Amino acid sequence: MEVFPDKLRGRLSSSALSKLYELRNNKLNSFLSDVIDLCEPESIYLVEGTMEDIEYVKRRALETGEELPLSTKTHTIHFDHPLDQARAREDTFILGDKIPFVNTKPKEEGKKEVLSILKGAMKGREMFVGFYSLGPVSSKHRILAIQVTDSAYVIHSENMLYRHAFKEFQGDRDFLKFIHSVGTRDIKKRRIAIDLEGTVYSVNTTYAGNSVGLKKLALRLTLNKAVNEGWLSEHMAIIGLEGDKGVHYITASFPSGSGKTNTSMLGRLVSDDLAFIREVDGEARAWNPEAGVFGIIHGINQKDDPIIWEVLHSEDEVIFSNVLLKSDGTVYWDGSGEPEPEKGINFSGEWWKGKMDDKGKLVPASHPNARFTVRLGSFRNLDPRFDDPEGVKIEGMIFGVKDYSTLIPIAEAFNWAHGVITMGASMESARTSAVLGKSDEMEFNPMALLDFVSVSLGRYLENYLMFGKKLSHEPKIFSANYFLKNEKGFLNGKEDKRVWLRWIVERIEGNVDGLKSPIGIIPLYEDLSRMFSSVLGKPYTRENYESQFTIRLNGYKQKFLRIREIYANIEDTPYEVLEILDKQIADIEYYMRKFGDNVSPFQL
């Protein structure tokens, strides 16, 4: 029985109709007819990914006013509602039973609510349907996904961020489903409802972290799938580092706004935000589900971020969001190193220097979570293997945090389980502007994933530990912190991360020894001194080393006590997790009895 022709006729062009017909995908057809019944769009545009489609979507984004043209012809600007500038934690929930640390809503109730808001939401509007693949299209591990939205900006973003895969939907293929509507932009009715059976509903929001289904909404679905199937779907960059013996790929997990994108620019770029990791022949292999970058623009300047700067000033396509639009049709953002204009248009409307909001707070020229959307192909450091269907072999994994008080800049775990539990699962980081709420509070954020975790943390960690057991070539695990301070301020310069990456490569190549400390293996002074000189052309004093690598034993102990308490209260935490944390705490206490609250690396 053909379900689609009646529903779709009149809403689709005849050529689109026949293309859909040729796919003969009944799951797709019945999904589309359900969406039509629900959202009642006026017309439908299928985005197959042809040049014509790409141009049409760009034109529609300008015609609807969702994007404004800039004087630099290939660039546009988009504004989100002033109260919709970041991921909306409170309005985002998994449909289902309660899970500690996960925002959930009873399935029937949550679904009914979001469906009632979506009912008729696209009346009089055009609906776009995009067909994509998460991961290289020809990889057997790719995951197909469909975006339905009435926002030309959302589908435009997706055309830049994901791989088109219309033809892959041939036959009764399964796919993830994302339904989005701009709605009435009533923030009180903003809802992002995640049904782990494979559908996400998003309404009354346009900020990409809430509306672009394939990014963080898909992450909730793929994480659940990964835990069920024994692989990892992670919030991680994938970076190729050149060593003396070749290129080594590592992953880097950092909470939003703590150095992830920046770190990805220091090597060969495979991914800046997400990674699928699977065991293949005893190796950990990784793929980027995405094909573009939706990055924070605040602070991007020519000196520190030359590659991103170049992309943003090239003739390649860029969507700027929530930066300042100047009267000459160019944009400005804070931290760019350029002089702040007197006035312009920003997320708050007309803007002038000194503008206050209704709470009497200064309105910045650009929002701290203002962003840029570009294709991976625009980066000159793009790794030639970024689209390799076989993925890249991962030899190191960094878990990085923004921690002003405790964690040393770089350390290596003793083994997979030690690293996964004491470095990844124990992450605490200062909150940044990528989520709505107060900045700079320390938050528990295991694997930088807390906002996206859709299963119990106990099951999630159990899967991680099991995954390690399948590997005959375990990646080395590292903890990183670019933000350590003492009374005088930050202990490291922005560039120092290049040295930490060099140390990681040399550890992978087996070129350098390390010093055993209670919290892991730390670099030797002589090695860092050589690397500061060869990588940065800078001297590195013993005093610098000592202040950066003195282990603040009591700080570490307190942190692990807090973390232990959290996991002890989660019902399905594997026993091994508590065992590893207990051993970690006991080891630190042993050193504290000998050395007191701090131990200098020269005492180890």
List residues binding Mn ion (CB under 5 A). Answer: 273
CB neighbour class for 328 (10 Å; exposed up to 12, middle 13-18, buried from 19) = exposed
The residue among 23 and 214 lying less far from ligand SPV, judged by its C-beta, is 214
In sign, the C-alpha dihedral spanning 200, 204, 210, 212 is: positive
Residues 197-216 binding ligand SPV (CB under 6 A) are 208-209, 215-216
| Residue 87 marked in a binding site | yes
The span from the CA of 59 to the CA of 121, in Å, is: 22
C-alpha distance from residue 102 to each of 94, 106, 453 (Å):
8, 13, 7
State in angstroms the smallest separation of the CB of 87 from ligand SPV.
5
Does position 256 bind ligand SPV by CB under 6 A? Answer: yes
State in angstroms the smallest separation of the CB of 357 from ligand SPV.
22
State in angstroms the smallest separation of the CB of 588 from Mn ion.
31
| Residue 258 marked in a binding site | yes
State in angstroms the smallest separation of the CB of 163 from ligand SPV.
18
The residue from 258, 271, 479, 529 that is catalytic is 258
The span from the CA of 253 to the CA of 424, in Å, is: 8
The residue among 290 and 587 lying less far from Mn ion, judged by its C-beta, is 290
State in angstroms the smallest separation of the CB of 260 from ligand SPV.
8
- Which option in ligand SPV, Mn ion, none does residue 148 bind, with CB closer than 5 to 8 A by kind? none
The residue among 253 and 529 lying less far from ligand SPV, judged by its C-beta, is 253
Side chain identity, residue 40: E
| Residue 30 marked in a binding site | no
| Residue 246 marked in a binding site | no
Pick from 363, 66, 379: nearest CA to 207: 66
| Residue 259 marked in a binding site | yes
| Residue 346 marked in a binding site | no
User: Taking the C-alpha atoms of 10, 131, 197 and 443 in order, what is their torsion angle to the nearest 10 degrees?
Assistant: -130
Residues 276-315 binding ligand SPV (CB under 6 A) are 294
The residue among 20 and 218 lying less far from ligand SPV, judged by its C-beta, is 218
Q: Which residues contact 402 (CB under 8 A, 6 or more apart)?
A: 254, 255, 257, 258, 259, 429, 430, 432, 481, 482, 483
- Which option in ligand SPV, Mn ion, none does residue 78 bind, with CB closer than 5 to 8 A by kind? none
Give the x/- contact pattern for ligand SPV in 78-107, rule: CB under 6 A: ---------x--------------------
Side chain identity, residue 426: S
The residue among 234 and 273 lying less far from Mn ion, judged by its C-beta, is 273
State in angstroms the smallest separation of the CB of 451 from ligand SPV.
8
Residues 386-445 binding ligand SPV (CB under 6 A) are 434
The span from the CA of 100 to the CA of 109, in Å, is: 19
Cβ–Cβ < 8 Å for 505, 534: no
Tokens of 236: 């991680």
The residue among 215 and 220 lying less far from ligand SPV, judged by its C-beta, is 215
Helix (H, G, I), strand (E, B) or coil at 561: helix
Residue listed under structure tokens 């059976």: 197
| Residue 425 marked in a binding site | no
| Residue 370 marked in a binding site | yes
- Which option in ligand SPV, Mn ion, none does residue 193 bind, with CB closer than 5 to 8 A by kind? none
The yes-or-no answer on residue 258 being catalytic is: yes
The span from the CA of 133 to the CA of 435, in Å, is: 27
State in angstroms the smallest separation of the CB of 454 from Mn ion.
15
The span from the CA of 434 to the CA of 378, in Å, is: 24
Tokens of 569: 């209260």
CA 99-258-523 angle, to 5 degrees, is: 105
Rule CB under 6 A: which residues touch ligand SPV? 87, 208-209, 215-216, 256, 273, 294, 434
Q: Residues at the annotated binding site for GTP?
A: 257-262, 371
Catalytic residue set: 258
Q: Residues at the annotated binding site?
A: 87, 207-209, 216, 235, 256-262, 273, 369-371
Q: Residues at the annotated binding site for substrate?
A: 87, 207-209, 256, 369-371
